[in-house]
Amino acid sequence: MEQPNVAIVGGIRRTLKLKGAKPPAVRKGAVLTMDALFALGLLLLSMLTILMLLTRHAPYQAPALSSASDMMNVLRTMELQDLDGNPRYPYANQVIDDRRTSPYNATVIETIIDLYMGNNTTAAAQNLSAEIIGWAVPNDYGVELLVEKSGTDCQGLNSSYSCVYNETRGASRHFVSTGRHFIYSNNVTREVRLVLYK
């Protein structure tokens, strides 16, 4: 067994012998144990640091949300006569000129649905919808305007809702917003749905 032969330790032993005390046993590996402890501590701290670094802080870019109910609220508030002489809406003015004697104080959505339900005026409903709704919706949004009437929906499927106006600007529908309104047309109260999606 190797004895400690360092001068200082020897000096201590000699001093203790002189005083009649029992020399202390040298605890082997104590320094190594401390080293291991510090090493483990450092290792764990490194793991914590790496974990924190792995938790990435990324910029937040929320998708621009468009509210269909907001748009529907505008369409059921704005009257056709409000657009009379307004240069922003040339097609609406054309419709007004053609319908001076019909419900001039109808709202825009009532006018669109009235045109759609009328004879040979489906294209007019689509043109008016495009001018008022289509232009206002952001380019990355698709638009569907449907009325409660047996026919085909905007995807060409048989449905109790018919497609009045459709603007497909992308196939995905990760975000869908729907606005609803009820219109009395042809002696029936019909639901009108505006769908914005992206």
For another protein, the closer of residues 98 and 151 by Cβ is 98
User: Does 180 sit near another protein (CB under 8 A)?
Assistant: no
Q: Which of 142, 143, 108, 144 is nearest to 128 (CA)?
A: 108
Minimum gap (Å) between residue 26 Cβ and another protein: 11
Least distance (Å) from another protein to the CB of residue 152?
A: 28
Gap between the Cα atoms of 129 and 28, Å rounded? 90
SS3 label, residue 121: coil
Per DSSP, what are the bridge partners of residue 178?
A: 195
CA pair distance 68, 146, nearest whole angstrom: 13
Q: Is 15 helix (H, G, I), strand (E, B) or coil?
A: helix
Nearer to another protein (CB atom), residue 97 or residue 156: 97
Q: Are residues 133 and 117 in contact, defined by beta-carbon separation less than 8 angstroms?
A: no
Among 132, 146, 163, 195, binds another protein (CB under 8 A): 132
Check residue 193 and give left, alpha or beta (phi > 0: left; psi -120 to 50: alpha): beta
Position 22 contacts another protein (CB under 8 A) = no
Which residues in 35-94 contact another protein (CB under 8 A)? 36-37, 40-41, 44, 47-48, 51, 55-67, 70-71, 73-74, 77-78, 82-83, 86-90, 93
Cα gap 78→89, rounded to integer Å? 13
Q: Which is nearer to another protein, 21 or 47 (CB)?
A: 47
Nearer to another protein, 75 or 149 (CB): 75
Residues across the chain:
198
Nearer to another protein, 112 or 162 (CB): 112
Under DSSP, the state recorded for 171 is S
**How much is the CA Rg of the chain, to the nearest whole Å?**
40
How many positions of this chain bind another protein (CB under 8 A)? 45
Of 12 and 159, CB closest to another protein:
12
Site residues (vs another protein, CB under 8 A): 24-25, 27, 30, 33-34, 36-37, 40-41, 44, 47-48, 51, 55-67, 70-71, 73-74, 77-78, 82-83, 86-90, 93, 132, 135-136, 138
